[in-house]
Amino acid sequence: MKFPRCILRPVFVSLFITLAAHAHAKSLHEDARNLRITAETFRSVAVENFVEALEYYSTPSANLKLVDLGNDMWPVTDPAMGWSLYFSTALVNISNIGSDKQTVTFAHPWSETLLLTLWQEDAQGDLRMTDATMLINSLLYGEDPPYPTVRMWQALDLYGPVGVGMYNAGLTTGIESLFEDLTQEDIAGLDADLLDGLTFGASKQFMEYQADLLPVLRASDGNAAQVRNLWNDLSRDVAANKAQFDGRFSEQMNTLTLLEDRLWNSFIPVAYQSTDNSSLLMLASIENPDLFIAMQQDHSPNGPVLNQLDLFSFNSFYDLFLTIEGDEE
């Protein structure tokens, strides 16, 4: 049976449009995958050797930017070591996919700072960083200037891991729209005094983040020493696949024992809070910064008592945030 050309032509046009749309979607998916893999690899290399990461994944102009930012962020210590510490628990987000200059943000949720970077393919087709700017999260949360240089998750009347998880989820949902169609010209056009102020604010917040951890790292007071000892005991129990804590934490302990050794051994302290009644220690994974552990101990006359033990995922908070936003619409 023959069909008139007037019927076949719209069919072919429709088929062509459909195939083109699928090809474009596939291309964007591949672009996103390549960008994320490159950004995650850069982060991993930077943790071990920041200079080597720049050599493989950055351009000379971006190198100069990062050197200047590093000198401002860590004026009295080795900036390369500072960057390695920063990237060790930074979360990677990508946006502006498929454009000439794609956006990668390295968000450090524990200090509430964010490194905004632009990436572009070089002549060989390899993705390289072309620009970098340091921001503080209060700017991205929509606060009015002068932008507060505080870690806002700590000001919430929420259990620590819930506060940092929900604040980061709100930031993540806004990154794609905030940085859509961002170009190097946009960054270059920002007020120089504003950028200097943001870098200073980021340096202040990161130093405060580090200072908060000193009691645990040095075991300089009784509560910090006790919670660190609890963590050391837990680490040994997980490594030995056994649980010696109260039975109420058996489920959490069983979950932790399922983690691969390399992942388990990569958890480092990222937050410590203490009151007269309790102490909270949080640890994030260098291997996968999306994962973090929270353990809270109560202070008692008979010694510390483990009260909370949980493994969290920033992605889970992101999903929860989207669900809450959907319910409110």
pLDDT (average), residues 50-75: 97
Confidence of residue 329 (pLDDT cuts 50, 70, 90): low
Mean pLDDT (the chain, rounded): 84
Q: Give the Cα separation of 70 and 58 in Å (integer).
A: 15
Residues of the chain above pLDDT 90, percent: 51
Stated as kind and residue range, the H or E segment containing 80 is helix 79-88
Residue 311 has pLDDT above 60, yes or no: yes
Mean pLDDT of 277-287: 95
pLDDT of residue 12: 42
pTM score, two decimals? 0.86
| Cα–Cα distance, 62 to 37 (Å, whole number) | 19
Query: Looking at residue 238, what is its pLDDT?
Result: 84
pLDDT at 246: 53
What pLDDT is recorded for position 85? 98
Examine the pLDDT at 83 and tell me if it is beyond 80. Answer: yes
- pLDDT for res 247: 67
Euclidean distance between CA atoms 213 and 118, whole angstroms: 32
Q: Using CA atoms, how far apart are residues 53 and 328, in angstroms rounded to an integer?
A: 43
Domains of the chain, by residue range, sit at: 5-212, 219-319
Q: How much is the pLDDT for 109?
A: 96
* Three-state DSSP class for residue 264: helix
* pLDDT band, very low/low/confident/very high, at 24 (cuts 50, 70, 90): very low
Is the model's pLDDT at 217 over the cut of 70? Answer: yes
For every residue of 25-56, DSSP letters joined together read HHHHHHHHHHHHHHHHHHHHHHHH-HHHHHHH
Task: Give residue-wise pLDDT tens across range 180-214.
Answer: 666 656 666 668 888 899 999 999 999 999 999 99
- Taking alpha carbons only, the member of 138, 53, 150, 142 closest to residue 104 is 53
pLDDT digits (tens, 9 = 90+) for 144-180: 777 888 888 888 888 999 999 998 998 888 776 666 6
pLDDT of residue 5: 45
In the CATH hierarchy, which top-level class contains the domain 219-319? Answer: alpha beta
Higher-pLDDT residue of 287 and 17 is: 287
In three-state secondary structure terms, 295 is strand
- In this structure, how many other beta carbons lie within 10 angstroms of the beta carbon of residue 113? 27
pLDDT for the residue numbered 15: 41
Mean pLDDT across 78-105 = 90
